[in-house]
Structure 1
Amino acid sequence: MLYQAYQTCSDMLAPARMAAQAATGFRDRYLGGAQDMPWFRRFFALAEVFDKATITHQRPAYGIDSVLSGNRDVTVREEVALDLPFCNLLHFAKDDVATPQPRMLVVAPLSGHYATLLRDTVHTLLSDHDVYITDWKNARDVSLSEGDFGFDDFVDYVIHFLQELADPADQGLQGRRGAHVLAVCQPCVPVLAAVALMAQDDDPAQPRSMTLMGGPIDTRESPTSVNELATEHPFMWFEDNMIHTVPLRHPGAGRKVYPGFVQLSAFMSMNMGRHFSQFRKLYQALADERPADAQKIETFYDEYLAVLDLTADFYLETIDKVFQRALLARGELEHRGRKVDCGAIRKTALLTVEGERDDICAVGQTAAAHFLCSSLRPHLKRHHLQTGVGHYGLFAGSRWETQVYPQVRNLVLAVS
């Protein structure tokens, strides 16, 4: 019922949004100098803010057309390397690279936002790497005929992608042909599990390096408000209150999902005053004709308000296995009935990265991976604590580019 009520409300507001878009279009085409009058500027600023403060369900563009690589600009184009029911393996191909670069699989969070949230991460990595990303699909757009998607399926997808990226012609250090993998936030647990399973099978496609950034490997360490939210309610509460049915109008009609708009509402409620303040600043910047200031805020919210739904199975299993019982950290996680043993990892170098001010995955939660990977020799394990940043600053912004990324690049160089 909640999803249908949300859809109905969205449909009712659609004419008002169209009117706001028409108003700004009319201003740009017909008003000319009249739009500089203070009253007009305030009116159209209000219309534009109303239009921008809208939840969308379409993936924003990555917008990465070129990148500086090898001291020159090279063209970047997007290619779908693999099209699976719940995810595309997206390749950012570069045509003018003189020598082959290490393949890097970026595993994006499946937590209510699109993988484009890692746009800065990808752009920076592209300077020295051949980059692929898990471009997760909106569950409400996936037909019921495609079946279910749970935690084990996520692990299977990661293994499949790593096997796809392994290059038989590139033997590298110690005869290994695997790519490199970098996970941000939520996927750190399934990525670590996937690498462990590949190690248990002595899979030749085991990644050469694994970078885990701000992930909930062990949520018992320094619990945050996000962790406490997941543990203060019994499991059945989440199933009864967080799971809803996709309305008939969408391709995935009838599928049980954790809606992206519910996740977004939870995140925004944690700091609602700041969001109101930002939209107020956007209105003032538009009314005062400060386009650079307005563009900065609009760019952030274009991404932040674009949401996707998670399948009910994946959401509930993540709550249970990762946040409530911390099964991987306890050594009790199973994948399709098989025990996951992180101690089997001997060949994949490990880098963990944490943010000093991270209020989603606190200091210590990601570093717990070092204890689990007990068979890795010391020179294959590194940890970086980035001072002065929260969760988002780990993978975007100046600290990511100048301080965190060099740690990733140096590890890749060391084991390639």
Structure 2
Amino acid sequence: MLSPYRAMADATRIALSNPVNPWTHTPMGRQFAAAAELFERTTRRYGKPVFGLTDTLVGGERVPVTEEIAWQRPFCNLIHFRRALPPRHKPDPKVLIVAPMSGHYATLLRGTVEAFLPNHEVYITDWTDARMVPVADGPFDLDDYVDYVISMIHALGPDTHVMAVCQPAVPVFMAVARMEAEDDPYVPTTLTLMGGPIDTRANPTAVNRLAQERGTEWFRRNVLTTVPFPHPGMMRQVYPGFLQITGFMTMNLDRHVDAHRDLFRNLVKGDGDSVQKHREFYDEYLAVMDLTAEFYMQTIERVFVEHHLPRGIMMHRDRPVDPKAIRRVALLTVEGENDDITGGGQTLAAHGLASAIPEDMRHHHLQPAVGHYGVFNGSRFRADIAPRVMDFMRTHAWRKVQAAKPSATPAPQAGTRPASLKVIRGGRTVTAALQAPKKD
């Protein structure tokens, strides 16, 4: 319904931005142009962004980067950022970045990919908008998500490092546990969980409390809808992305209102740099995708309402998911001090569940003064978090190589659940006690 008005607003903005128009150079003209752009941007349907990573710096030399699909299924493409490396360049570690399927596209992790490109072969999950997948391709639920992750790790082969950002922490943790239970030779070398809801009973946030208060059936009745014609996925039940982004924005409504008020002021006074920063952020943030209803409802029920994983009752296709089976994978968890989506301790809980991992193969990093987004993007991520993750991957890749040598000292045997964990907090190493999992 708003399309004609949006087109009119865009035409007004263009007319009042034309230097030959005398109104362009008046305060009233600039205000009208700013108001027209603000209306157009807040009513626009944002399309899927592009990564736009065309080159990177490798060993002091700028090399081209191209995207290619390394693995494909109806609901996901695995994108490989292939670098044009010199022939004598030694192979770099393979990193599988599992992007969240929580309403945003994988391009939200553009900064994450960019940070790892100089020293790694980077792969990232590019989840498909559910409204674009025909019903004939079948459903997609939490079990399918776990199957996809296992299949991608198999496709990449041994010695792969896996990093799950936010929502996929649970299914990726499940996938690694199932691989270990089956003694899978392709189990990853390291697993990094960043701001993920492993146990949402720890320091519950507004998101967690909403799920607890409403219950599964409320979500089923109120937030699911059917994809309309003419989308390829018409008649598929989905949780629409615009509801997800509305929920995220209302959690920090004052901040978003202030940002758009600043956009209006900067447009009027001609502050091009500030305007461009706003455009780049919100072009990404407001581009949303739909999730399949079955995946969304299983996640609400098993992760946020009934807490299957920390209670030890999580299942994957009628087989139990036992985190204690994880013994060969080094585990790193990362949390943000000011995270208002995944509270402190929710990701740390993975260490208490995966108790068979030797103590020298586990680590936790608490990043001061960052929120949820800052855990995987921004200046503090580039300066503090990314180097620690890379160092963790290199250390345990080297350890794995040394352990495979006949003369190497045998790796420590998996023992009982550790009572404490070394944590980096504000540049200091401190010891944090691990709480025992809560009983039913």
Band of TM-score, shorter chain: over 0.9
1:54 has 2:35 as partner: no
The residue type paired with residue 298 of structure 2 is: E
Where does 1:356-371 land on structure 2 (aligned, <5 Å)?
A: 356-371=337-352
Map of 1:69 onto structure 2: 58
- Indicate if the aligned counterparts of 1:355 and 1:394 stay in contact, CA closer than 8 A: yes
Q: Following superposition, which runs of at least 4 residues in structure 1 exceed 4 angstroms of deviation?
A: 27-30
5+ residue gaps, structure 2, are 398-440
- 1:204 and 1:187 map into 2 onto residues whose CA distance is 22
Question: How far did 1:74 drift?
Answer: 1.6
Map of 2:118 onto structure 1: 127
Map of 2:222 onto structure 1: 241
Where does 1:98-177 land on structure 2 (aligned, <5 Å)?
A: 98-166=89-157, 177=158
Question: How far did 1:57 drift?
Answer: 5.1
Map of 2:422 onto structure 1: none
- 1:110 and 1:55 map into 2 onto residues whose CA distance is 22
Q: Aligned to 1:331, which of 308, 312, 331?
A: 312
Task: Give the match's secondary structure for 2:196.
Answer: coil
**Matched length:** 395
Task: Give the match's secondary structure for 2:56.
Answer: strand
CA offsets, 1:247-274, max 9 Å, x none?
A: 1221111110011111111111222222
Where does 1:8-407 land on structure 2 (aligned, <5 Å)?
A: 12-27=1-16, 31=20, 35-56=24-45, 58-96=47-85, 98-166=89-157, 177-407=158-388
The residue type paired with residue 267 of structure 1 is: F
Question: How far did 1:375 drift?
Answer: 1.0
**With structure 1 as the length reference, what TM-score do the two structures score?**
0.92
How much identity, in percent, do the aligned residues show? 49
Distance 1:385 1:245, change over 3 A: same
- 2:16 and 2:72 map into 1 onto residues whose CA distance is 42
Distance 1:54 1:75, change over 3 A: farther
Task: Give the match's secondary structure for 1:53.
Answer: helix
CA offsets, 1:298-330, max 9 Å, x none?
A: 111111111100000000000011111111111
CA offsets, 1:11-59, max 9 Å, x none?
A: x111222223333344555636752322221111111122221353521
Question: How far did 1:244 drift?
Answer: 0.7
Distance 1:243 1:267, change over 3 A: same
- Indicate if the aligned counterparts of 2:6 and 2:44 stay in contact, CA closer than 8 A: no
**With structure 2 as the length reference, what TM-score do the two structures score?**
0.87
The residue type paired with residue 266 of structure 1 is: G
CA offsets, 1:359-390, max 9 Å, x none?
A: 11111100111111111111110110101111
Distance 1:281 1:274, change over 3 A: same
- Indicate if the aligned counterparts of 1:188 and 1:215 stay in contact, CA closer than 8 A: yes
Distance 1:158 1:55, change over 3 A: farther
Task: Give the match's secondary structure for 2:82.
Answer: strand
Which one has more relative contact order, counting CA pairs under 8 Å at least 6 apart? 1
CA offsets, 1:74-97, max 9 Å, x none?
A: 211111112210111111110125
The residue type paired with residue 216 of structure 1 is: P
- Indicate if the aligned counterparts of 1:54 and 1:305 stay in contact, CA closer than 8 A: no
- Indicate if the aligned counterparts of 1:55 and 1:261 stay in contact, CA closer than 8 A: no
